[in-house]
Structure 1
């Protein structure tokens, strides 16, 4: 940790301890985590086929079910997503906070199965899904819920006899990400979207024919203070924390979701949960 980051987190932590008392503490724990935002973005490119004009993609991420995020809240989230009538749904990782101790049952499959999108539902592993946690359990649950895993692989999304590429990599922290493998056999001239749980992987993505990257993982810092910003972000979410980034003059467009749930601490402050609705625009 460099000196600037150390001072930022030290001062921020001190202010948080002083400030998160009384009503502020209640707000950060009980109010803001439930203030779900629907963030709408347009993605415009001459590479997007005309058959995808006004095509809607929903991205949701980091639900962390079990850590102060219940199945009832997940059910309401799915109803909200369905209400925007997406053409495509993507989930960018961290479904359950502790998969190895979570009480798995058919309810979570039933709720995720309720999500509807004409052109399919896709997902990638996050660090909480993977490694020594519950890799295979997660895959079985998502398979039953009708989601297709993109683990160093891609698929073709077709609309009006035209197509775009949707690719996904394995988790950067606990998996074996391989973007060469994920894009193997794709047409580099086609509009390509990459799902990567960790946003800082964009530094690697820049070297490939990818137009847009969707990520989560950061939670936007979860607790943010005026003039200071985020107090903490996990590894591989240091540089790109939340929102939209245009890299190298437009070579890559990166969108980082603040996510839905919480982890480590059950607070959100000046960092509301969100899911994205992206509308593609040709030309």
Structure 2
């Protein structure tokens, strides 16, 4: 960490200790974590077939159920996602916070199963999914709930004989991501969306024929301060933290979702939980 970064984080942490007290502490712990933001984006491209005009993809990520985020809150989220009438649903990792300590039952599976999207439900592993011996447990839950895992593989999404390509890699931190394997025999001329839990993977993805990368993991920083921004993000979410990013050397566009739940500390400040709604358009 260089001197500038150190001073920024020291100053930010001091303000946080002073500011997150009293009413601000209450807001950061009990109000903002429940204040869901529905973030809409229109994605335009001349390689999106016109049959996909107004095709809606809903992304949710990083629910971290079990750490200050309950099944009752998750039930409300499911209702809100279904009310958006998505054509396709993607989950970009970290379902529960600690798989080895979570009290697994059928309720979570039934809630996930109740999500409806005519063109499918897809997911990828996050680092918390692989952690805590959760790899097989979470896969079984998602399988039973009708979600298809994209683990270094891709899937063609077909509509009226036209196609777009949806790909997903294994988790960068605890998995074995392999983008060459993921895109093996994939048609590079198709509009391609990559699901990658860690947003900093975009520095690799931008070298491939990928149009959009959807990520989570960062929680948007979770606690952000005016003029300073986020105080902390995990590994592989240090360059790209929140929102939309473009690259000079590539046509790739990266969207980083701020996630639903919290982890490490049960606070959100100036960083509301969010889901993304992407509407495709032929340009």
CA distance in 2, matches of 1:3, 1:46: 45
1:264 corresponds to:
264
SS in 1 for 2:74: helix
Can you give the 5+ residue segments of structure 2 that lack an aligned partner in the other structure? none
Q: Post-superposition shift, 1:44?
A: 0.4
Q: Post-superposition shift, 1:7?
A: 1.5
CA distance in 2, matches of 1:38, 1:256: 14
Q: For the Cα contact (< 8 Å) 1:60–1:90, is it kept in 2?
A: yes
Can you give the 5+ residue segments of structure 1 that lack an aligned partner in the other structure? none
CA distance in 1, matches of 2:66, 2:2: 34
1:31 corresponds to:
31
CA distance in 2, matches of 1:252, 1:272: 26
* Count of residues paired in the alignment: 283
Task: State yes or no: 1:214 paired with 2:214.
Answer: yes
Cα 1:157/1:49, change in 2 over 3 Å: same
SS in 2 for 1:130: helix
Q: How does 1:123-138 map to 2 (within 5 A)?
A: 123-138=123-138
Q: For the Cα contact (< 8 Å) 1:51–1:161, is it kept in 2?
A: no
TM-score, structure 2 normalization: 0.99
Q: For the Cα contact (< 8 Å) 2:206–2:250, is it kept in 1?
A: no
SS in 1 for 2:65: coil
1:198 corresponds to:
198
Q: How does 1:97-176 map to 2 (within 5 A)?
A: 97-176=97-176
CA distance in 1, matches of 2:16, 2:131: 33
1:50 corresponds to:
50
SS in 2 for 1:204: helix
CA distance in 2, matches of 1:28, 1:254: 28
Q: For the Cα contact (< 8 Å) 2:99–2:132, is it kept in 1?
A: no
CA RMSD of aligned residues (A): 0.8
Q: Post-superposition shift, 1:246?
A: 1.2
Q: Deviations over 1:111-153 (max 9, x none)?
A: 1001000000000000000145310000000000100000000
